[in-house]
Amino acid sequence: MRGYSLEKMKHVGLVLILSVLIGLSVGALDAGFGRVLDYISIFFHQHKHLLLPFLGFAGMLFVHIQLKYGKDSHLGIGLIFKAGYGEVSKVPKRLVPFAICGTWLTHLFGGSAGREGVAVQIGATVAHAFGRQFQGMNYKRFIVIGMASGFAGLFQTPIAAIFFAMEVLVVGHLTYDVLLPTMVASFTASFTSEFLGLSKFSYHLVLDDRLPWFLIVRLVILGIIFGLVGYLFARTMRLTRLTLTNHFPNPVWRIGIVGIIVSILLFIFHDGRYASLGTNLIVDSFHGGTIYPYDWLLKMILTALTLACGFQGGEVLPMFAIGSTLGAALAGIFGLPVDFVAALGFASVFGSATNTFLAPIFIGAEVFGFDAIPYFFIVCAIGYLCNGNRSIYSLQKIEKEF
């Protein structure tokens, strides 16, 4: 028994050491990826009239190279989900450079996309590679550790990252057996990227600590609205991807034709307002900028078209933009502060679209302040219950299916 305990302690110690190494590596990669992406986004907005017309052509070139040299890298986040379920035994290391370079290319030419999906792929690939170096390791658990470190390194919200990684693969099932190494990797990645100069979005909400009944009623209604919008985004992503695949079976021509259409639409709708990450919309929502009541809908449609036709990038930042602009637009109707409702939308639409519950609550807390947890809990809980178990991640499983 004593020998077993010693072996168990050695195993746990090794996993924790690997978690630190994973956090350091992923945090550094996220910092490099994110900082370059910030510069690219600025460069695009300075030269958008020159770059945006070439979006479709850039996409065609990238997809051609990826199909020729990328092996399974075109599967993207789907490959990470398969590895997390044990359906594939190996995640190719080339997934990382293709995901990073593809996302840089998307934003250089103005595609409407995010960056979180790439960070999760970086983290999962690195963690999987570390885990495979040692016999007796559960490779599937390292996928969870890696996903958390990737998310935390990019957004610097380590608690939200922990719960996101633990609940996103199988809805209703939390992988508590990897809680400790996931915590270590997540916080290490977050501290590393912060140390290396990657900026974090944060905003302090000024709140009343009371929860009167009439405010709770409004929060419930807002939760229903945000939940339905998250459901709509998940459905739009799936239907758009299916429709484009059926009409344009050749992936090179698909991204070229749809990319040209997207670039035209981005020009037509407010001259590139909905291009790239959507951080401009988020900033406007919280700092008194102009918000149109249809901002959230146009950002949703253009993001769905960009990602469904084959461009690299993530969905989370666009979801934050969708939620915050919708919240800002609804604030006057509900008689509540604009920044308060925008923050609720920021977190809740993310939760309902990814079919997660705990992660959006802590996203809200880590970005806007832990004093706001009661408000985020109510809105995110209602949003989660109203999303019909839909998710932007098509391979996500429900616990009863797992």
Instruction: For residue 220, give Cα distances in angstroms to 170, 340, 345, 370, 375.
Output: 26, 14, 12, 20, 10
Residue 1, pLDDT score: 44
164-217 pLDDT, tens digit each: 999 999 988 888 889 999 999 999 999 999 999 999 999 999 887 778 888 999
Lowest mean pLDDT, pick from 47-51, 89-93, 343-347: 89-93
What kind of fold does domain 213-401 have according to CATH? Clc chloride channel (1.10.3080)
10-42 pLDDT, tens digit each: 878 999 999 999 999 999 999 999 999 999 999
**pTM for the model:** 0.95
Q: What tokens were used for 289?
A: 């900028």
- Residue count of the chain: 402
Q: What tokens were used for 121?
A: 């792929």
For domain 2-195, give the CATH number: 1.10.3080.10
Residue 402, pLDDT score: 52
Contact criterion met (CB below 8 Å) for 401 and 173: no
Please name the residue ranges forming H helices in 269-393. Answer: 279-286, 295-308, 316-334, 338-354, 358-368, 373-385
- Say whether 213-401 and 2-195 share the same fold: yes
C-alpha torsion angle, residues 89, 94, 98, 104 (rounded to 10): 110
Domain spans in the chain, listed from the N-terminal domain onward? 2-195, 213-401
C-alpha torsion angle, residues 17, 92, 318, 394 (rounded to 10): -110
